[in-house]
Structure 1
Amino acid sequence: MTTDPFETMSPDEVAAMTQRLVFTDEPVEPPIETGSDTGAVLIPRSVKMPLDLDKACKSRAANLGMSQSEYIRSLIERDIATAGTSEQRPAWVRELLAVIAHHENDDHRKAS
């Protein structure tokens, strides 16, 4: 277990450290994380939802072999991809996506 260095610093060491700090009004960028699959920059967001919806979301994500974050992100990406178009996908596309989703679920069920 690592020890917090601030717990072992003397008051003089803390004072010396704070005197070296330079304060500015420059904005601070959030830490950048990259997605393991795509290398995309991922920004953490907090999403509030009712407990029942959270449980259902967790369960659905697990059934799909995804984390909750991946599942929620996929729903947002799908919505944005179809936003602004009043046209529904052709029936053959909807059927194909349903077959793919069904087989993805089968594979995940077999693995568990």
Structure 2
Amino acid sequence: MNASFAGRCMRQLAVAIVVKGLFGLMPSACAEEPAQKVAAVAALTITIDNFAFSQPTLTVAAGTKVTWVNRDDILHTVVDETKSFKSDPLDNGDTFSHVFDRPGTYTYFCSLHPHMTGTIVVR
């Protein structure tokens, strides 16, 4: 925890105690730093290039955010076969993200080029 973050939390805690008279109250802003680090770790990127997904099969933990980025000069989409997630058409440089909350196997494809397929396995 850096010094400015700790100082900010201590000031917020002191104000909360004085204003609300509640001891042990932790302002929500103080809990954000660890959550941000966890979110940053649980994020993966799949590139779309040369009419293919860079990782045809990817295994992740539940709660992982997967981001697809289009590196082709043509539009592509990312669509789950069961329609649990679906991107708009992605132009070059565009991204689409989905957080996989539940365990299972998710097979996805590009609706504009159905031969492009991939699988996310969530444990």
TM-score range, shorter chain: under 0.3
Give the structure with the higher percent strand. Answer: 2
- Give the structure, 1 or 2, with the largest relative contact order (CA under 8 Å, sep 6 or more): 2
TM-score by length of 1: 0.22
Give the structure with the higher percent helix. Answer: 1
* Bigger Cα Rg: 1
